Amino acid sequence: MSTANQPPSRPAQRIQYAFTEEQEQFRSTLRRFLEDKSPPTEVRRLMATAEGYDPAVWRQLSEHLGLPGIHLPQEYGGAGFGMVELGIVTEELGRALLCAPFFSTAVLAANAIMNAATEEQKAALLPDLAAGAHLAALALTELDGNWDPDAIQFRASASGGGYVLDGTKSYVVDGHIANLLVVAARLAGDKVALFTTPSDGGGITRELLQSMDPTRKLARIDFKSARAQLLGGEDGRAALGRTLDQAAVALANEMVGGAQKLLESAVSYAKMRVQFGRPIGSFQAIKHKLADMLVDVELAKSAAYYAAQAAAVEDPEWPALASMAKAAASDAYVRTAAETIQIHGGIGFTWDNDTHLWFKRAKSSEVFLGQPNYHRELLMQRWEV
Amino acid sequence: MSKISEAEVRAEVRQWLAENWNTNLSLLEWRNKLADSGWGMPQWPKEWYGRGLPVALVRVVEEEFAAAGAVGVLRGGIGRLAAAVLLEHGTDYQKKKFLRRIITAEDTWCQLFSEPGSGSDLAGATTRADFDGTNWIINGQKVWTTSAHHAKYGTLLARTDWDAPKHEGLTYFILDLKQPGVEVRPLRQMNGHASFNQVFFTDAKVPPEHLVSTVGNGWQVAVTTLAFERRFADGTGAPSRRGPREGRIYEEERAETATVMEPYKWYPQRAGRVDLVIERAKETGANRDPNVRQEIARLMTLARSAEWTARRARAAQRQGKPQGPEGSLGKLAASHIARAAARVHTMITGTAAMLTGTDSPRGGTIAEILVSVPAVSIAGGTDEIQRNIIAERVLDLPKEPRFDTGPFRNVRRN
* pLDDT tens-digit series, residues B236-259: 444 555 566 788 999 999 998 888
Asked if B308 and A292 come within 8 Å (Cβ–Cβ), the reply is: no
Position B183 confidence tier, pLDDT thresholds 50, 70, 90:
very high
Q: Is the pLDDT of residue A13 over 80?
A: no
Identify whether B40 is part of a domain: yes
- CATH 1.10.540.10 domain span(s) along chain A: 2-130
Query: For residue A2, what pLDDT is reported?
Result: 38
Report chain B's terminal Cα–Cα distance, integer Å.
53
Pair (B137, B223) in one structural domain? yes
Residue B200's H or E segment, with its range, is: strand B196-206
Backbone angles phi, psi at B165, to 5 degrees: -60, 155
Query: For residue B190, what pLDDT is reported?
Result: 96
Angle at B99 between CA B98 and CA B100, to 5 degrees: 100
What is the domain extent for residue B112?
A: 92-230
pLDDT digits (tens, 9 = 90+) for B97-128: 999 999 999 999 999 999 999 999 999 999 99
Pair (B247, B283) in one structural domain? no
Rounded to an integer, what distance in angstroms lies between the CA atom of residue A86 and that of residue A9?
15
- B41 in helix, strand or coil? coil
Pair (B49, B98) in one structural domain? no
Identify whether B408 is part of a domain: no
Given a contact cutoff of 8 angstroms between Cβ atoms, the answer to whether B275 and B300 are in contact is no
Contacts of B318 (CB under 8 A, 6+ apart): A18
In terms of Cβ atoms closer than 10 Å to its own Cβ (0-12, 13-18, 19+), residue B26 is exposed
- For every residue of B290-345, DSSP letters joined together read HHHHHHHHHHHHHHHHHHHHHHHHHHHHHTTPPP-GGGS-HHHHHHHHHHHHHHHH
Query: For residue B154, what pLDDT is reported?
Result: 97
Percent of chain A residues past pLDDT 70, beyond the cut: 97
Cα–Cα nearest to A285, from B388, B152, B356, B175? B388
Beta bridge mates, A195: A183, A230
Pair (B257, B272) in one structural domain? no
The interface residues of chain B toward chain A in range 298-357, judged by CB-CB distance below 8 A, are 298, 300-302, 304-306, 308-309, 311-312, 314-316, 318-319, 321, 325-326, 329, 332-333, 336
pLDDT digits (tens, 9 = 90+) for A237-262: 999 999 999 999 999 999 999 999 99
Rounded to an integer, what distance in angstroms lies between the CA atom of residue A253 and that of residue A217?
19
Pair (B133, B193) in one structural domain? yes
How do the residues of chain B divide into helix, strand and coil, expressed in percent and rounded to 5? 50, 15, 35
Q: Is the pLDDT of residue B312 over 90?
A: yes
Identify whether B402 is part of a domain: no
Asked if A327 and B395 come within 8 Å (Cβ–Cβ), the reply is: no
Q: What is the domain-level CATH number for residue B330? A: 1.20.140
Nearest Cα residue in chain B from A310: B308
Which of B298, B305, B332 has the most A C-beta neighbours within 10 Å, making it the best mutation to test the interface with A? Answer: B305
Rounded to an integer, what distance in angstroms lies between the CA atom of residue B382 and that of residue A44?
43
Asked if A294 and B390 come within 8 Å (Cβ–Cβ), the reply is: yes
Query: For residue B163, what pLDDT is reported?
Result: 98
C-alpha distances out from residue B248 to A90, A217, B24, B33, Å: 60, 74, 5, 16
Round the average pLDDT of chain A to a whole number and report it: 96
Rounded to an integer, what distance in angstroms lies between the CA atom of residue A261 and that of residue A35?
12
Given a contact cutoff of 8 angstroms between Cβ atoms, the answer to whether B110 and B151 are in contact is yes
Identify whether B390 is part of a domain: no
Percent of chain B residues past pLDDT 70, beyond the cut: 95
Which of A318, A376, A378 has the most B C-beta neighbours within 10 Å, making it the best mutation to test the interface with B? Answer: A376
Query: What's the fold here for domain A2-130?
Result: Butyryl-Coa Dehydrogenase, subunit A; domain 1 (1.10.540)
Q: Give the torsion sign (CA, B32, B35, B36, B40).
A: positive
Cα–Cα nearest to B376, from B325, B412, B342? B342
Given a contact cutoff of 8 angstroms between Cβ atoms, the answer to whether A104 and A51 are in contact is no
> For the residues B332-338, what does the mean pLDDT come to?
97
Contacts of A291 (CB under 8 A, 6+ apart): B332, B386, B387, B388, B390, B391, B394, B395
How many Cβ atoms sit within 10 Å of the Cβ of residue B351?
Answer: 6
Rounded to an integer, what distance in angstroms lies between the CA atom of residue A271 and that of residue A225?
60
Nearest Cα residue in chain B from A279: B398
Position B317 confidence tier, pLDDT thresholds 50, 70, 90:
confident
pLDDT digits (tens, 9 = 90+) for B26-64: 999 999 999 999 999 999 999 999 999 998 899 999 999
Q: Is the pLDDT of residue B397 over 80?
A: yes
C-alpha distances out from residue B235 to A40, B103, B158, B194, B378, Å: 54, 10, 30, 29, 29
Rounded to an integer, what distance in angstroms lies between the CA atom of residue A244 and that of residue A103?
12
Position A360 confidence tier, pLDDT thresholds 50, 70, 90:
very high
pLDDT digits (tens, 9 = 90+) for A107-148: 999 999 999 999 999 999 999 999 999 999 999 999 999 999
In this structure, which amino acid lies at residue A303?
A: A
- A205 in helix, strand or coil? strand
How many Cβ atoms sit within 10 Å of the Cβ of residue A65?
Answer: 21
- For every residue of A122-183, DSSP letters joined together read HHHHHHHHHTTSS-EEEE---TT----GGG---EEEEETTEEEEEEEEEEEETTTT-SEEEE
Pair (B135, B225) in one structural domain? yes
Largest CA distance in chain A: 78
Rounded to an integer, what distance in angstroms lies between the CA atom of residue B192 and that of residue B370?
12
B74 or A276, which is more confident:
A276
- CATH 2.40.110.10 domain span(s) along chain A: 136-235
In terms of Cβ atoms closer than 10 Å to its own Cβ (0-12, 13-18, 19+), residue B189 is middle
Q: Is the pLDDT of residue A8 over 50?
A: no
Rounded to an integer, what distance in angstroms lies between the CA atom of residue A30 and that of residue A24?
10
Task: ipTM value, please give it.
Answer: 0.94
Pair (B209, B257) in one structural domain? no
- B109 in helix, strand or coil? strand
Rounded to an integer, what distance in angstroms lies between the CA atom of residue B279 and that of residue B293?
12
Rounded to an integer, what distance in angstroms lies between the CA atom of residue B284 and that of residue B280?
6
Query: For residue B225, what pLDDT is reported?
Result: 75
Q: Is the pLDDT of residue B262 over 60?
A: yes
Report chain A's terminal Cα–Cα distance, integer Å.
43
Rounded to an integer, what distance in angstroms lies between the CA atom of residue B334 and that of residue B339?
9
Given a contact cutoff of 8 angstroms between Cβ atoms, the answer to whether A230 and A193 are in contact is yes
The shortest C-alpha distance from B286 to chain A (Å) reads 10
The CATH number assigned to the domain with range A238-382 reads 1.20.140.10
Position B328 confidence tier, pLDDT thresholds 50, 70, 90:
confident
Pair (B214, B111) in one structural domain? yes
Query: For residue A11, what pLDDT is reported?
Result: 47
Beta bridge mates, B190: none
In this structure, which amino acid lies at residue A46?
A: L
Angle at A44 between CA A40 and CA A48, to 5 degrees: 165
- CATH 1.20.140.10 domain span(s) along chain A: 238-382
Identify whether B360 is part of a domain: yes
pLDDT digits (tens, 9 = 90+) for B197-227: 999 999 999 999 999 999 999 999 998 777 7
Cross-chain CB nearest to B309 (options A298, A376, A377): A298
Rounded to an integer, what distance in angstroms lies between the CA atom of residue B238 and that of residue B63?
8
- On whether any CB of chain B is under 8 Å from the CB of A291, the answer is yes
Position B231 confidence tier, pLDDT thresholds 50, 70, 90:
low
Q: Is the pLDDT of residue A53 over 50?
A: yes
Nearest Cα residue in chain B from A289: B387
Percent of chain A residues past pLDDT 90, beyond the cut: 95
> For the residues B322-341, what does the mean pLDDT come to?
89
Residue B154's H or E segment, with its range, is: strand B153-159
> For the residues A222-230, what does the mean pLDDT come to?
97
The CATH number assigned to the domain with range A136-235 reads 2.40.110.10
Identify whether B168 is part of a domain: yes
Residues of A in contact with B302 (CB under 8 A): 299
Given a contact cutoff of 8 angstroms between Cβ atoms, the answer to whether A40 and A99 are in contact is no
> For the residues B140-146, what does the mean pLDDT come to?
95
Q: pTM for this one?
A: 0.91
The interface residues of chain A toward chain B in range 73-102, judged by CB-CB distance below 8 A, are none
Q: Give the torsion sign (CA, B308, B309, B314, B317).
A: positive
Position B230 confidence tier, pLDDT thresholds 50, 70, 90:
low
Pair (B155, B258) in one structural domain? no
Cα–Cα nearest to B307, from A329, A316, A246, A305? A305
> For the residues A257-281, what does the mean pLDDT come to?
97
The shortest C-alpha distance from A304 to chain B (Å) reads 9
Q: Is the pLDDT of residue B338 over 70?
A: yes
Q: What is the domain-level CATH number for residue B156? A: 2.40.110.10
Asked if B386 and A291 come within 8 Å (Cβ–Cβ), the reply is: yes
Q: How many domains, in total, are found in chain B? A: 3
Cross-chain CB nearest to A302 (options B296, B308, B318): B308
Beta bridge mates, A158: A163
- For every residue of A259-326, DSSP letters joined together read HHHHHHHHHHHHHH-EETTEEGGGSHHHHHHHHHHHHHHHHHHHHHHHHHHHHHTT-TTHHHHHHHHH
- For every residue of B203-219, DSSP letters joined together read EEEE-GGGEES-TT-HH
C-alpha distances out from residue B101 to A47, B34, B82, B125, Å: 72, 11, 12, 29
Pair (B68, B142) in one structural domain? no
Cα–Cα nearest to A106, from A316, A95, A81? A81
How many Cβ atoms sit within 10 Å of the Cβ of residue A341?
Answer: 20
Position B76 confidence tier, pLDDT thresholds 50, 70, 90:
confident
pLDDT digits (tens, 9 = 90+) for A168-206: 999 999 999 999 999 999 999 899 999 999 999 899 999
Cross-chain CB nearest to A385 (options B293, B301, B388): B293
How many Cβ atoms sit within 10 Å of the Cβ of residue A39?
Answer: 14
Helix axes B277-284, B330-349, angle to 10 degrees: 10
In this structure, which amino acid lies at residue B86?
A: L
For residue B409, give the DSSP letter: G
A19 or B323, which is more confident:
A19
Last residue of a domain, one of B180, B205, B230: B230
Rounded to an integer, what distance in angstroms lies between the CA atom of residue A363 and that of residue A344?
18
Rounded to an integer, what distance in angstroms lies between the CA atom of residue A314 and that of residue A307?
10
Identify whether B138 is part of a domain: yes
Nearest Cα residue in chain B from A379: B297
- On whether any CB of chain B is under 8 Å from the CB of A299, the answer is yes
